[in-house]
Amino acid sequence: MGKGKNILLCVSGGIAVYKAAALTSKLAQAGYEVKVIMSQSAMEFVQPLTFQALSRNDVYFDTFDEKDSSVIAHIDLADWADLVLLAPATANAIGKLANGIADNMLTTVLLAATSPVWIAPAMNVHMYDHPAVKKNIQTLSDWGYGFIEPSEGFLACGYVGKGRLEEPENIVKLVDAHFRPGQGGLLAGKKVLVTAGPTVEQLDPVRYFSNKSTGKMGYAIAEKAAEMGAEVTLVSGPTHLAPPHGISLVSVETALEMHEAVTGRFPEQDLVIKSAAVADYKPAETFEHKVKKQDGMLSVPMERTPDILKSLGEQKQHQILIGFAAETQSVDLYAKKKLEAKNLDMIVSNNITAEGAGFGTETNLVTFHFKDGSRRDLPLLSKKEVAKELLIEARRLLEGRFQ
């Protein structure tokens, strides 16, 4: 399966190093040529000999240990790789890479790499949630690094939460999909654009207007679309989520920025799914300095932001266009009105006050409404399952459009 493809596995220090050994074995069994670089901390958990035996290649850990005098090892390894995996990626390794620090063999090779680099974080849940770690992940994401989001569960430190290195067999599946894009996928060869998260409308340097969207639904859709073989662009407002691997991320803040990012890319898309919670209004005036508090009430004049979905509905030609309707009352009524008024092919409605649905949850309870008046009610599902069902329906719509 992986014959002819070279994987460079960079292993930084943490208890999850034992999973990196299993990952090496599974990649080799799948036919990939695997070479391993270890940090000094990683070698405190597992000896290099283990990785040498599993990969059947020399293991690298010292920048100044040149095993072949005809090449410079850290450059040669970087050039050799078709894909670089940093797994596990500690907070320290992520921080060094985000700040251009190359003080060991592992970080030196990472900075020299020109092939895709995927980062699989593994750390304590509170470390993963630290602002510095989030900032470093966002920086690397903006630079084009891919992330394999950690899973949730029991951690070695005793905590239960997000921070476990993704299971080796799942990482191998992602690698397989990377080298065989779209093979057998429902969306093979299709270009898909997804919007996610909130927008932020500034009032002054301190205050802004936004909403409670976390982006989880949109990110799940983008991840699943990529798994189904699509070429995915994710236009995202500010979130704390690591972007799915294998997608193109466009980070925006305001409704106007999202409008420009989406409409500029719209003509080349086959499918657009607009799940972002875009601000309908923004302050009519913004202030260079903080607005000081005063006696009495404060009124902030607001003006409309661009209606992205309506604009796309007016422009669409061959595209399938899907929107979301997050409501608190008369959900079906408002969803059907939005479906018709904005020339959508499908709309996903949900009552955000329902238990297990809405912003910030891991689950959702939705209904699909279609142009022909039909509907499909889903039970309470994880957002990833909702994404899967949505994309299956989208594929059916695409098949009808291109017949």
Residues 234-255: tens digit of each pLDDT: 999 999 998 887 899 999 999 9
348 lies in the same domain as 385:
yes
135 lies in the same domain as 241:
no
Contact (Cβ atoms closer than 8 angstroms) between residue 11 and residue 51: yes
155 lies in the same domain as 10:
yes
What CATH code is carried by the domain that includes residue 365? 3.40.50.10300
Residues 9-28: tens digit of each pLDDT: 999 998 999 999 999 999 99
Catalytic (active-site) positions = 157
42: containing domain? 6-179
pLDDT of residue 185: 67
What is the mean pLDDT of the segment spanning 36-47? 95
Residues 194-215: tens digit of each pLDDT: 999 999 999 999 999 999 999 9
In a domain, 337, yes or no: yes
Q: Tell me whether the omega of the peptide bond preceding residue 198 falls within 30 degrees of 0, making it cis.
A: no
226 lies in the same domain as 175:
no
State the total domains in the chain.
2
23 lies in the same domain as 151:
yes
Final residue belonging to a domain, choices 129, 152, 179: 179
pLDDT of residue 244: 86
In a domain, 1, yes or no: no
Residues 142-170: tens digit of each pLDDT: 888 888 878 766 666 666 666 788 889 88
Would residue 244 be called left, alpha or beta, if left means φ above 0 and alpha means ψ between -120 and 50 degrees? beta
In a domain, 186, yes or no: no
Question: What mean pLDDT is reported for the chain?
Answer: 90
Final residue belonging to a domain, choices 144, 179, 214: 179
In a domain, 86, yes or no: yes
pTM, two decimal places = 0.60
Final residue belonging to a domain, choices 158, 179, 200: 179
